[in-house]
Chain A
Amino acid sequence: MKNVFLPHSLADLWRHWENEPAAAVYAGGTDLFVKMRSGAINPPSLICLERIEELKGAEEKGDFIRIGSCATHAHLLENSLVRKHLPVLVQAIKVLGSPAVRNMGTIGGNLCAASPAGDTLPPLYALDAEVELRRQDDSRRLAVKDFLVGPGQTLIGQGEILAAVWARKADGYNLHHYEKVGQRKALAISVVSLASLVRLSSAGVVENVRLAWGSVGPTIVMCPEAEKALIGKRLTLETLRKAAVYARQAVSPISDLRADAGYRRTLAGNLLLRLLACS
């Protein structure tokens, strides 16, 4: 039998963790329990973070929306700040898992699981998000793109939790788009995904653009060359095709049971062409 602790505050958490430093923390368990079941990991004891109020909800902080790590996907879908300022994140969460998985799973768990297919990751890259990490006596902030170092790997330290995600408001963009290609609609891990933020001038010229791809590398892939190829241009098929060439060069997909590398590479470029339909 494993001991499972259910702290109701951060103070509670630190007190307990000090005495049981080998315990693994979890939030929704939708990733952790699947891994424990497959035998991939077997922590001696567990700490569930779901009751810690300090880790929930979302608030406005200047140019950022600060989202508690244990906010569930379902909660974020209904949160008015997130809906207003981070539409690309909302679009991604809408296609994450199933209703029950969204009722349980959290944004913090999605980040810490660090899957290249994690649906909140491309939006958070595009939004220049940061993570707030906490341990008993200090806290630090890191860019999400530095926090995630490889499949399943983050810079989180021993005795440290992800407390919050700071996502920059996307108010300066007028085109927000997340698209995931999976093998079916629901409960599908992405084969390739793309989060796009575009600021178009009133004349339809791209003034600023952020693009981030999922499932085509060890972490999320960004492609400054593709972004540069779009700036100052209109979103025509021709310009998007040119940018797509850079995108296909930037990605480093693998073949697995869901798709092969060549298909992923082609798709990574083709997803860009969809912006034509959104603009």
Chain B
Amino acid sequence: MVRFVLNGKDMQIDAPPDRRVVDLLREDLGLTGTKEGCGAGECGACTVLVDGETRLSCLMLAVQLEGRQVTTIEGLQRETGAGLHPVQEAFVEYGAVQCGFCTPGMALSAVRIIRRNPDPTRAEIREGLSGNLCRCTGYVKIVEAVEAAAWKMSNKPPEKPAKDAAP
């Protein structure tokens, strides 16, 4: 029996201890927002937040969730109340999503970046996203979206001054 909190809900699950967390989420719990790309730590598509830190659910076993707080992309909006999380909104607004396969992992990594550093530079955003691969967008729009989300979340004026927006 594994006990943990998933997206704000107490869970008690009778999963085999060696079940990978990505399988537990997708197959057993039907939360298919978490993706599996490589299964080997290389792509970041399976990123989830465990006690607020990014972890790769393809390299983690069910038993390791014991007592932890887990946030998947499905639970992200809960963190800010109703509607999309500002990071999700920014991804939509900036066109940072193409096929969408990398998006859940990207968004969760972005949340962690902004939480640790409310005003990240572009270089810091790139570093923070460096474990998340995207084969579609070329990253530029993703970085812009994270920058915009950080700006919005810091409750600053609606428009980011141009000097900071330069690449």
Contact = CB atoms under 8 A, between A and B. Distances in A.
B130 A99 contact: yes
A28 B41 CA distance: 12
Interface in B50-100: 53-56, 58-61, 63-64, 66
B18 A98 contact: no
Interface string B4-21: 000000000000111000
A28 B64 CA distance: 10
Interface residues of A, number: 26
Contacts of A37: 39-40
B47 interface: yes
B104 interface: no
Interface in A9-63: 28-30, 33-34, 37, 46, 48, 50
Contact of A33 (B16, B44, B59, B63): B59
B128 interface: yes
Contacts of A46: 18, 61
B152 to A, nearest CB: 22
Contacts of A48: 61, 63-64
Nearest to B42: A187
B23 to A, nearest CB: 13
A40 to B, nearest CB: 12
A6 B127 CA distance: 32
A257 interface: no
B109 interface: yes
B3 interface: no
A185 interface: yes
Given A6-B63, A34-B40, A34-B41, 12 more contacts: A1-B16, A33-B40, A33-B41, A33-B58, A33-B59, A37-B40, A46-B18, A98-B130, A99-B54, A99-B128, A100-B56, A186-B131
Interface of A: 1-6, 28-30, 33-34, 37, 46, 48, 50, 74, 97-101, 103-104, 185-187
